[in-house]
A and B are shown apart, each in its own frame.
Chain A
C-alpha cells in the first residue's frame, strides 16, 4: 500500500476567481487564506481582518464559502478517479489516494506525481503531496508540507520524527499547553513516550493515531462513493455574461468528468452543459457532441472552445452544470491495421468542424435505391459502406439543388446557346405514390447534352418543358 495525500492549502481561495490584486478569505474576522499578492503585503493566515486591512487597505475580502469548498473537493475527488479507484475524502481540504497498485500504469512515482501536479495546475489548483505507506502518516507529512516520499514502513518513525506535533488532529488548547510543558515539540518527542502514560493524559485517541501512523494498527478509510450519474454543478464566483468567461469554470467540471469516465473505462459521445440564469429564467442548454465515444479531456475542451466561441448568452449565468447521460464502455485501444488510425485521427477534427459549422454540415454520402435522381442520395452522419446504386445509366457527379428551367428556341432547349443532345433519352418514371415534398411523381426523359461553351449537361424533358438537372464535372 502506498498512500498519496493531497492537501489543498489554498482551497478556500480556489473557489473564487483568480485575482492578481491582494485577496483574502476570512471566517470569524480572521484571515483563513491569502493569495500571493496578499502574502507579499505581509498578510498571513491567522491574522485579524482589521490587521490585514491595515497592511493592505485595498485588499479584496471574501467570506469563506464552506459549501463551495465541499463541492470543489467533491469534484477534485471525481477527477482523481482517473488515477486510482481507491480515493477517500479525509479531513477538510485533504484527499487520500491509494496509488501502490497503479504506479506501473503511470510510469513510476515521479511521473505520476508530475501528472497529478500538472492536472491540478490546469484546473487552477495546487496541492501538497504527502506520500507514506499508511494514510495517517501521509496526511501528517502533507500537513507539515513535507513532499519527500517515505516508501517503507520501517522508515516511518525516522520520517515522522521531525514533524511538529501540531500535525496531529484533536488536541484541545489545554492539552497543547500540557505538551508544551512536557517539552514535546516534535512527533519524535511524542513517539518515545510510553503509550500508557499518553493514554492517561491525552485519552485513548492519541496512542491509536500514533500506532495507525506507524502501521501497527489498521486504519480503515471510508472510500469516496463516486456518483452513478455524472451531474456536477459549479456555482460561479460572479455572474458571467460573456460565453468565453465560462471556459475556466467548465474546464474544472470537464476534468472531473474525464476522471469519472476513466474510472468506468467509459466514454461519451455527447454530454450536455446547462447554464443556469437568475430570476427564474429557464436554463440554456449547450450540447457537446463527439464523433466517437471519448474520455479525453483535451477533446472535450477543444469542442467546448469551438462551441463557446460562437455562443451568445441570453442572460447572465450564475451556475453551470455538466450532465453526462449515456456513458458507453470504451473498447481498449488496440493498434489497428492501416485505415483505422486514419479514422481515429480524423474523428477529433470532425468534432471541431461540427461544433463550429453545425452538426449537419459534416457528413458522409450514401446511395438510396430510388430511380428518381433527387432521391438517390442521402447524407449520413458516419461514412459507411451502403447499398450499391440502383442504376447503371450515366449519372452526373453534380446535381442542381432543384432543376433549372431552360428556354426553348425553335424546339431546341437553350443554355448559354443551343443544347446539343448527345445521348438519350433515358426515361425515368417513378414515385407515383409519394407526395411532392418527398420527391413526387416523376415522368421524365433524360439526355446527356452539351452546349457551345463545352459544358456537359444532364437535361430532362417532361410535360412542362426542358430542365437542366446536373453537370458532368
Chain B
C-alpha cells in the first residue's frame, strides 16, 4: 500500500487545478491587449507553449485584429509563422501590424500544414504560430501540435471552422468569435478554470471607427479612363 498523498500536495501539481480557480501555466502568458479578455483568461493572457483554438463564425470579422497586439509583442523576439493562410497576405497591411522581416509564410494544405506547424513549434525558435486547419484534420493532429508546443515560449493559434465548436479538442483554450456591431464578440468555450458563461465584446481595431447607419455620401461617377 502506498501512502495516501495529502490533498495540498496534489493541488501543487501544475496539471491539477481547482475547478473554481484558474490553472497556472508554467510557460507564462502574453497579454492580449484587451483588459476585458485578459481578466477572463487563466494567467491573464494568451497562454505560451499551448494551443489556443479560435473558431470564427466568418472570415473578416476582426479575428486577426484580436491577436494583433499580442503578435506585435511576440514578433519583437522571434519570427511569427503563418501556416496555410486562407488568403493572400497583403504586405502593406502586414507591415503596419508587425515588422515584415519577422514574418514567415508556409503554404501547405491539411495534413501537411499540421506537420509543418508541428516541426516549426518543436524547433522552439518561433515567436508565435498562426495555423489554419480544415475540418478534416482530426483531434489527434491537434494533440501532436499541443505536445510540440509545450515547453516553448510561442503561443500557437489554430483557426478551425465554427462547426467544430461542439466537438472535443485537446487545446486548453477555445474561443468562438462572431461579429458584433461595435467590434468582436468572444465566447470562451473552454478554459482551464471555471466555465465562463458571458460573452465578451472587445473593441478590436477596425478600419472605420463607427459604422454610420445611413448610406452616407452619394456615389461618385464610375472610374473611367478618358480617351484623348
- A contact residues vs B (CB 8 Å cutoff): 338-339, 341-346, 348-350, 352-353, 356-357, 360-368, 373, 376-379, 383-386, 388-391, 394-401, 420-423, 425, 427, 429, 441, 443-445, 448, 450, 453-457, 461-463, 470-473
Is B15 part of the contact surface with A, judged by Cβ < 8 Å? no
Which one, B87, B96, B104, B220, contacts A425 given CB within 8 A?
B220
Known: A390-B92, A421-B215. A454 touches B63 (CB 8 A): no
Instruction: Write out the residue numbers on chain A whose beta carbons fall within 8 Å of the beta carbon of B180.
Output: 454
Query: Which of B79, B89, B103, B224 is the one whose CB lies under 8 Å from A346?
Result: B79
**Smallest CB gap from A457: residue in B:** B60
Q: A352-B119, A383-B101, A445-B223 are in contact. Are A398 and B77 (CB under 8 A)?
A: no
Contacts of B225 in A (CB 8 A): 441, 443, 463
A445-B220 in contact given A365-B100, A383-B101, A385-B100 (Cβ < 8 Å): yes
CB contacts (< 8 Å) of A422 on chain B: these are 207-208, 211-212
Return the chain A residue nearest B99 by Cβ.
A385
Residue B105 is within 8 A (CB to CB) of chain A in the complex: yes
Inter-chain contact A367/B100, CB cutoff 8 Å: yes
Chain A residues contacting B179 (CB-CB under 8 Å) are: 453-455
Query: Can you name 21 A-B pairs with beta carbons within 8 Å?
Result: A345-B123, A346-B78, A360-B107, A362-B105, A362-B106, A366-B100, A377-B92, A383-B104, A395-B92, A395-B96, A397-B94, A399-B88, A399-B90, A425-B220, A453-B179, A454-B178, A463-B224, A472-B62, A472-B65, A472-B207, A473-B62
Whether B196 sits at the interface, judged by CB under 8 Å, is no
Which chain B residues numbered 174 to 188 have a C-beta less than 8 Å away from chain A? 178-181
Q: Which chain A residue shows the least CB distance to B117?
A: A353
Known contacts A342-B79, A383-B101, A461-B222; decide if A471 and B125 are in contact (CB<8 Å). Answer: no
* A376 B223 Cβ-Cβ under 8 A: no
CB distance from B176 to the nearest CB of A (A): 14
B89 touches A394 (CB 8 A): no
CB contacts (< 8 Å) of B212 on chain A: these are 422
| Least Cβ–Cβ distance between A301 and chain B, in angstroms | 16
Q: Across the interface, which residues of A come within 8 angstroms of B78, CB to CB?
A: 339, 342, 346
A346 in contact with B126 given A420-B211, A421-B215 (CB within 8 Å): yes
B215 touches A471 (CB 8 A): no
Contacts of A378 in B (CB 8 A): 91
User: Cβ of B228 < 8 Å from any Cβ of A?
Assistant: no
In the assembled complex, the Cα of A386 lies from the Cα of B94 at a distance in Å of 12
Query: Would B88 and A384 count as touching, CB distance under 8 A?
Result: no
Chain B, 130-160, contact with A by CB distance < 8 Å: what is the 0/1 string? Answer: 0000000000000000000000000000000
Nearest-Cβ distance from residue A380 to partner chain B, whole angstroms = 9
B191 to chain A, nearest CB (A): 23
Contacts A345-B124, A364-B105, A398-B89 given; indicate if A456 touches B95 (C-beta within 8 A): no
* Nearest Cβ on chain A to B101's Cβ, whole angstroms: 5
Bound Cα distance A357, B108 (Å): 7
B207 & A448 in contact (Cβ 8 Å cutoff): yes
A75 to chain B, nearest CB (A): 31
CA distance A398 to B97 in the complex (A): 13
Complex Cα spacing A440 to B219, Å: 25
CA distance A429 to B226 in the complex (A): 12
B93 on the A face (CB < 8 A): yes
Alpha-carbon distance A391/B207, docked complex (angstroms): 15
Within the complex, which residue of B95, B103, B223 is in contact with A388, where a contact is CB–CB below 8 Å? B95
Q: In chain A, what residue has the closest Cβ to B120?
A: A349
Chain B nearest CB from A169 CB (Å) reads 53
B91 touches A367 (CB 8 A): yes
- Identify which of B59, B119, B219 contacts A349 (C-beta below 8 A): B119
The interface residues of chain B lying within 8 Å CB-to-CB of A357 are 106-108, 112, 116
* List of B residues within 8 angstroms of A470 by Cβ: 87, 90
Q: Is B86 on the interface with A (CB-CB < 8 A)?
A: yes
Question: Are A463 and B105 in touch, CB under 8 angstroms?
Answer: no
Picked from A386, A391, A421, A462, the residue with its CB within 8 Å of the CB of B216 is: A421
With A366-B100, A399-B90, A445-B220 as known contacts, state yes or no: A353 contacts B206, CB within 8 Å.
no
- Give which listed residue, B59, B85, B100, contacts A455 with CB less than 8 A: B59
Q: Is B64 interfacial (CB 8 A cutoff)? A: yes
Q: Which residues of B contact A420 (CB under 8 A)?
A: 211, 215
A348 / chain B contacts, CB cutoff of 8 Å? 123
Q: With a CB–CB cut-off of 8 A, which chain A residues contact B207?
A: 394, 396, 422-423, 448, 456, 472
Please report the C-alpha to C-alpha distance between residue A366 and residue B168 in the assembled complex, in whole angstroms.
39
Residues of A within 8 A of B119 (CB): 349, 352-353
Partner of A365, one of B103, B116, B122, B178: B103
Shortest distance from the beta carbon of B14 to any chain A beta carbon, whole Å: 25
What separation, in Å, do the CA atoms of A426 and B220 have in the docked complex?
11
Find chain B residues with CB under 8 A from A341 CB. 125
A contact residues around B223 at 8 Å (CB) = 427, 429, 443-445, 461-463
Residues of chain B with a CB closer than 8 A to A389's CB:
91-92, 95-96
A398 touches B61 (CB 8 A): no
